Structure 1
Amino acid sequence: MKRGGGFSLLELIICLAIFSILVAISTPNFFAMRKNAQQKDAARSIMLALRHARTQAVTENIEYQVAFDLDTQRYWLERGNLADNSTTWEVVRHFEEHQGGIIMRALANCTSSSGQRRIQFNPNGTSNTLYICTIDPDSVVRFRAGTSVAKIGRPVIHRDATGSGDWK
């Protein structure tokens, strides 16, 4: 009997078994990578909002701030009415919610989970110092975005690779 050009049933079963093992090994790594990417994306979005606020403050010679509502997990850009000590703030732009259940917390140690926080930028480029942390649904903090030096006002992102609070 002549053998055809196809695979035998045994060969197909072995190939499927090997493929299944490879999928089982790679799936957890894929999900961890996806969570990390979502957190990083959320931190970058916050940093871009802060950069935009700083640029607008310097360009227009008027105060700008990014307001964060930790209760509703939303944030937006506000424009002041003066170059210093603004008395009224107008909402200029609302930013989109973060995907993947990413939660925002405030302060350097990421412990504040309620209320409103603001990072304000002045026309001379300075700001107050505050960090907004991005936390995945499993309560793992990997990134925080904010301003670390008030005199400079430059928005930055720090990463905690180990989960021990060793920000770099």
Structure 2
Amino acid sequence: MEHRVLYDRRWAEDLCSSVRCSGVLLGMLFLIDWLTDNLTWWRGVLWVTLALVLFMVLCPARISAGEGWLASRRLLSTRRVRTDALVSVRCLEGVSRRLVLRDAFGDRVEIDPQVLVNNPDLWFRLDEDARSAAAAGTLMCGTTALRRIAERVERETALSVFRASGLE
């Protein structure tokens, strides 16, 4: 059996969007200061810092998965869980939805569930390992959250097939 690593296919596109948003903000701030004759070196440093902070906030996590694991890599850290030893899966509601995965070794990863919806191959890898964890008795809570994501993935996959075949 082939052991391959799967990645979020939209990550590069999301990264480019983060860079564009930060660059547009920086350009607008410099342009406004230049047009009003208020541009100084310290204001320039302030605007560059502000644009960098915006980039750090918007920069998406790089999600990858392989047999038995899922990782989330951010600018300054990487978190990894053993998906074949999951203990809990929770969906946090709020400003942005987050899926929190915890394994039997105390590791924890938070990801945007939309990443799994956009990447069915990542979802199927996680689902297969979660089923193994449930069969082994380690997955104590989270089947409802996983079922909801499965429904979203199946719905989006079916819609994609209908769009591609012209049956919308």
Whichever structure has more strand as a proportion of its residues is: 1
Normalising by the residue count of structure 1, what TM-score does the alignment of the two structures yield? 0.28
Normalising by the residue count of structure 2, what TM-score does the alignment of the two structures yield? 0.28
Give the greater-gyration-radius structure (CA). 1
Whichever structure has more helix as a proportion of its residues is: 2
